[in-house]
Structure 1
């Protein structure tokens, strides 16, 4: 019995110790990025400041929510502080609520860079990736944007979880912001797109929008629905694009444009095919043919492009371009009565692509190779070449955010203290002024009356006569006699018994009796 008790006691101690160690230093798995790139230890140093150590997240949330509800406004610094302090699932839910409040406030355009990054890292550490994807997709409601470092972390995490479709969502988000300046983020986006494209027959419904549309029941009556955002009737071919295949193709095309090599041209060709930009794809094929160099284009990419042409629905001649079922606006709007141009003859383009392919095979411009292997090799080389620089830059950025936050808090505290001291001094000054006016009222009354204009003076006299405050009995009532105060006489000593008449009379009788 004692042995069993000791065994269970040791088991509980080991279990609690394992749980505590997991909370302090959680075990992480990585796909392509090295463990040092994630900077987990550097990120935790933000909590070592006195501000973060003394702050209570729940109490701070209550005060922040109360301020939003009462004044409809709050400081962006407060939202950033709460985003950095939050560490649990309940606090993450509160942070989503606060972010929604913040996006409807008057200071929504004034945001701090650390706020977005802290939000993403919190959900990444808690594992709430599905909710994070929904928040990222709903920009009008939450307005959450990714930086290069956070986007790289998310794509690497989704690749490790064998979820290439969600990694593609992050790449599409970067494409919509037209932000492929970071080589690591750009090549990770290429690798994610190619992994999703070559993992069998891609299901484009997996990339459909996560924002649930507002469904209005059809009752046969005219219903006026309140909408926060009015859609621009002009189709901009970027933010208005809703077809997942078009978004994927444009992402692959924009990420591939940064590489003027075999991988870049191959990705551009596939991307333009999925994006259904047939004129640009035809120009790209002609350019590859005229280049005439060995290793200009992958044979696999040309085959994928021709499969896309074969599977694209052909538009009969004389009919307008059919819009995508995912898009509510026509691809080429009719403006000013001008009819849209005739659709591209895809059969002719397919024959032209086959002819260019044969010509490029003859001059060895078209080479064999595996597109996924080429993309994986490219991203590994890019990470190996740039990860240390990116990590050092991000570490300095973390320190800059912490220093900026502390400096701003100190500045606001000094400003608050000065304002409170000025209010206190103003209160004391008002009290002294009121007391001075009471003490020196009669001395200054004539001076104040002299400063009045004739009209104001007459108004004052009329008001005094109306309320009786200026009634003088010596003038208004001749029968009234003012009692005069007698002048004081010279003091002389009087015995005590002479001060009272009764005592005086008794004393006189006593003196007369003895006589």
Structure 2
């Protein structure tokens, strides 16, 4: 399926059927060749590798406002090395970490490129998630973790935290996701951008129009790009025991696939993201991405319904998407389903306004640029307000923790004084309470004799008879 899909990406729409036949013949005779050797990277037709563009300005990062956090004495007076050591010792002693301590550490990091920063961030976030303090996690902690890993270039660790929210508890908001997708698109890391978009799909919240447009742009760049990073699976691997271990269980659960959080295939994740986000975007982009999304997701009933619905409508879809969908349909194993989809696609092409020659990549990027131009001023203002609010919340939480420590210390001192006074009182009133104290002492006059068991009576010693004994004469 992927081989035919890749061939169609690099071929003109008019040669789809011929190219697909050539692909299957070539794969039959050369099964040992890798995909990169079977299909040389040749740029043809209307589909080209999309170029990176700047949707958001440099002001969207709010670097100046973000760096002002380091001027706060509460943050600037922290020594990262000593503070991390204290947090580590506290975790070993109490088995938990404080949410405000983790937030202070994350916001104190001023050099994201330093060695070991990513490992320390991952470790502290995981410890916080596994402790009861996770319910008190501050909003600024999520942003500080993402911003640190993003600026430091730790993409692998960042993707690991985003793809396992139940383990690490990192849930970025829409503004942070916008910054992530825009940065990854600039770096031409389309896989990371698509993973952020799939995170929004899994959370079932695509946010405002800017976030929706960037999600569609990220997924479409991932699909049509030939030079992209591999889609790594960050699911923790369970090591199999070397020896056979048998465990008694009451019952076995039947395997269950929820078709959402259990999705692991990149095409299914990206396809479902396109299919769910496209109804939120009107026009050519929404219709084309919906058809492409259902095709990649492998939901043939939904794909056929979408094709039939658009066949009767007056608004077309992009011809490049039709070419991609044809390639995906060619890989369908069920012959009846394949014929139905081909027939529905043929009826769509035969319609008067079914297909239009349009550069979908340019249309999507134009949509993202217009959404960015409209939303950027409000997002920047909202982000700066968040920085000020987070700083106040950090101060309040810090004062609460100081008050909590003061109360614990005071209670410990009171308890120590109570024990000291109780000991002195016992000494002072010793003679007054002598009778009571004597009752507490064990009685030495009473002796304990264990009862003899009738089942095991004590055996008597046999009498010794002296044969040489002579009784005396009377």
TM-score by length of 1: 0.68
Is it true that 1:169 corresponds to 2:161 in the alignment? Answer: no
Is it true that 1:179 corresponds to 2:205 in the alignment? Answer: yes
For structure 1, the residue ranges without an aligned partner over 5 or more in a row are 1-28, 317-343, 450-456, 469-515
Structure with the larger RCO, 1 or 2 (CA within 8 Å, 6+ apart): 2
Of stretches 142-151 and 432-441 in structure 1, the one that deviates more from structure 2 is: 432-441
**Residue of structure 2 equivalent to 1:256:** 278
**Residue of structure 1 equivalent to 2:341:** 349
Equivalenced residues, count: 387
Q: CA deviation at 1:439?
A: 4.7
In 1, the alpha carbon distance for the partners of 2:174 and 2:440 equals 75
Aligned residues of 2:348 and 2:355 also touching (Cα < 8 A): no
Aligned residues of 1:266 and 1:297 also touching (Cα < 8 A): yes
* Residue among 201, 210, 230 paired with 1:206: 230
**Residue of structure 2 equivalent to 1:475:** none
For structure 2, the residue ranges without an aligned partner over 5 or more in a row are 1-51, 446-474
In 1, the alpha carbon distance for the partners of 2:73 and 2:288 equals 53
CA RMSD of aligned residues (A): 3.0
* Residue among 400, 404, 411 paired with 2:393: 404
Give the alignment of 1:377-388 within 5 angstroms.
377-388=366-377
Q: CA deviation at 1:435?
A: 4.3
**Residue of structure 2 equivalent to 1:81:** 104
In 2, the alpha carbon distance for the partners of 1:159 and 1:415 equals 45
Which one has a bigger Cα radius of gyration?
A: 1
Q: CA deviation at 1:187?
A: 0.9
In 1, the alpha carbon distance for the partners of 2:378 and 2:152 equals 27
Secondary structure (helix, strand or coil) at the match of 1:207 reads coil
**Residue of structure 1 equivalent to 2:318:** 298
Give the alignment of 1:450-469 within 5 angstroms.
466=443
Deviations 1:176-209 (A, max 9, x none): 2222013222211111111222235x87x82242
Give the alignment of 1:66-145 within 5 angstroms.
66-88=89-111, 89=114, 90-139=116-165, 141-145=167-171
Q: CA deviation at 1:96?
A: 1.9
Q: CA deviation at 1:431?
A: 4.2
CA change 1:372–1:67 in 2 (3 A) is same
Give the alignment of 1:436-451 within 5 angstroms.
438-439=427-428, 445=432
**Residue of structure 1 equivalent to 2:453:** none
Q: CA deviation at 1:103?
A: 3.2
Of stretches 96-105 and 372-381 in structure 1, the one that deviates more from structure 2 is: 96-105
In 2, the alpha carbon distance for the partners of 1:52 and 1:467 equals 67
* Residue among 245, 252, 266 paired with 2:267: 245
Is it true that 1:62 corresponds to 2:85 in the alignment? Answer: yes
Of stretches 55-64 and 123-132 in structure 1, the one that deviates more from structure 2 is: 123-132
Give the alignment of 1:271-420 within 5 angstroms.
271-291=293-313, 293=314, 295-310=315-330, 312-315=331-334, 345-359=337-351, 362=352, 364-420=353-409
CA change 1:77–1:177 in 2 (3 A) is same
In 2, the alpha carbon distance for the partners of 1:125 and 1:465 equals 73
CA change 1:187–1:232 in 2 (3 A) is farther
Deviations 1:250-272 (A, max 9, x none): 11112212113221111111000
TM-score by length of 2: 0.73
**Residue of structure 1 equivalent to 2:42:** none
